[in-house]
């Protein structure tokens, strides 16, 4: 008798697929803008390979695919093609017509993500996407709000889609320049706060200069660096000991790869909290300046650290900036996220503060499911607090899916 090497799906995979099947039988997946010009890709339940180079010409054809195939993860291209199903990719790209400009913020980039709960990660990413959207995209970059769309990813992050005509033909290099501005790459203190001549001695051919500490109303990265300075000083004030303050700066340096070492961090802490009357930090908060005394200012390492509080990490699911990739696949709105069971949603940016993904993105029913909790887990979901101890328990189906997807439980 021949052995079958085909691995049967686990009970958990069968459960997850049935959840999605019930959803797609009852719910309509909205076709994205110009969906017939986009490439589609899908991960099946229990599979490790994406099936892509798929296209749909009619919305009912797309919806039937979801009902019949029941994908675990669903994506469409940010690019538009004359022949979106053509392969290989090189041939397809010859028919490229343009790409949406995409920004992806996910909890993976958070400095202390490993120490945060799932809810804390979601809350922090929401704060950062608000800054990215209103401060950078609609603010500094001036992209039109009528062509800018905010999506909850269904997982731990958000996607911002810009479909303005002026961005569609931008190549990867142009998009890289956008990323560099948002992340603060190449920011130069000397250019933002230039030396200006204050006095000229004609007799001796000499001149006095001083640093122009422009007011934050100057805007752009001048304002952002001042705001970052204030936030960083506030964080340092919360650390009780000098050692804790130094460690905090070192953590920032390491996470941002600034290469600012122990002695420099100690020198910065001394300048702010120890030297002189020990109130330098307060003066620097009260006034827009980086000057320690009449003759001495903070050096550029302090400015680099301060700037990190206003820069934003743009990292996608592969730890690679999504914005520069004009062939990227992005999650389909109104599809379900395979790891959480939550719905990918198009949001009103001006109602972001009211949005609770663990309430508003729930798409699965509340039928009770018996699960075995593998480790204690706390979460507030659908406005209900769940304090789950290890072992057998009963939870709503939407929570059972999330627990199984995050490897916190198995079916009992």
Would you name the residues annotated as active-site residues?
104, 106, 319
> What dihedral angle (degrees, nearest 10) is formed by the CA atoms of 111, 113, 117, 120?
40
The dihedral over CA atoms of 183, 187, 189, 190, expressed in degrees to the nearest 10, equals: -170
Helix axes 262-273, 242-255, angle to 10 degrees: 130
107 touches 124 (CB < 8 A): yes
Q: Are 364 and 398 in contact (CB under 8 A)?
A: yes
- 345-347 and 148-152: which strand pairing? antiparallel
CA distances from 233 to 169, 236, 249, 251, 288 (A): 42, 5, 11, 15, 13
Cβ neighbours, 10 Å, residue 192: 18
CA distance 21 to 16: 9
CB 149 within 8 A of CB 346: yes
Which pair of structure tokens corresponds to residue 149?
């769309």
- C-alpha to C-alpha distances, 311 to 152, 220, 234, nearest whole angstrom: 21, 12, 17
Crossing angle between the packed helical segments 242-255 and 300-307, to the nearest 10 degrees: 70
Rounded Cα–Cα distance for residues 270 and 298 (Å): 11
Cβ partners under 8 Å of residue 178, min gap 6? 101, 141, 170, 323
Q: How many residues does the chain have?
A: 412
- Rounded CA-CA distance 6/22 in Å is 26
Residue ranges in 80-157 assigned as alpha helix (H)? 89-93, 118-131
User: Within 13 A of 75's CA, how many CA atoms are on the CB side?
Assistant: 20
């Amino acid at each position: 008798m021949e052995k079958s090497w085909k691995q049967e799906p686990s009970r958990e995979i069968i459960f997850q697929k049935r959840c999605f099947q019930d959803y797609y039988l009852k719910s309509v997946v909205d076709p994205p803008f110009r969906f017939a010009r986009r490439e589609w890709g899908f991960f099946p339940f229990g599979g490790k390979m994406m099936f892509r180079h798929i296209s749909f010409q009619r919305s009912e054809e797309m919806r039937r695919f979801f009902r019949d195939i029941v994908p675990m993860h669903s994506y469409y291209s940010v690019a538009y093609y004359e022949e979106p199903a053509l392969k290989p990719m090189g041939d397809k790209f010859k028919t490229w017509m343009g790409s949406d400009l995409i920004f992806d913020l996910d909890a993976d980039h958070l400095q202390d993500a490993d120490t945060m709960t799932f809810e804390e990660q979601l809350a922090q990413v929401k704060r950062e996407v608000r800054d990215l959207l209103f401060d950078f995209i609609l603010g500094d970059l001036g992209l039109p709000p009528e062509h800018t769309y905010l999506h909850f990813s269904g997982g731990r992050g958000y996607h911002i889609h810009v479909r303005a005509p002026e961005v569609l033909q931008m190549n990867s290099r142009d998009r890289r320049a956008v990323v560099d501005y948002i992340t603060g790459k190449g920011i130069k203190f000397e250019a933002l706060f230039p030396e200006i001549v204050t006095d000229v001695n004609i007799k001796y051919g000499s001149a006095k200069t001083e640093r122009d500490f422009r007011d934050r109303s100057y805007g752009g990265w001048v304002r952002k660096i001042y705001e970052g300075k204030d936030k960083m000083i506030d964080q340092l004030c919360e650390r009780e000991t000098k050692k804790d303050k130094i460690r905090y700066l070192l953590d920032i340096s390491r996470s941002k790869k600034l290469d600012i070492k122990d002695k420099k961090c100690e020198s910065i802490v001394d300048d702010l909290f120890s030297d002189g009357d020990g109130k330098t930090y307060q003066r620097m908060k009260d006034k827009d300046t980086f000057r320690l005394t009449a003759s001495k200012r903070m050096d550029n390492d302090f400015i680099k650290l301060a700037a990190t509080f206003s820069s934003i990490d743009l990292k996608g699911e592969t730890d690679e900036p999504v914005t520069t990739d004009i062939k990227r696949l992005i999650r389909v709105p109104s599809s379900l996220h395979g790891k959480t069971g939550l719905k990918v949603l198009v949001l009103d940016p001006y109602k972001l503060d009211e949005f609770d993904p663990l309430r508003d993105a729930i798409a699965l029913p509340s039928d009770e499911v018996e699960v075995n909790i593998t480790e204690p887990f706390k979460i507030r979901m659908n406005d209900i607090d769940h304090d789950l101890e290890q072992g057998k328990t009963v939870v709503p189906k939407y929570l059972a899916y999330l627990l199984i997807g995050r490897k916190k439980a198995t079916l009992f």
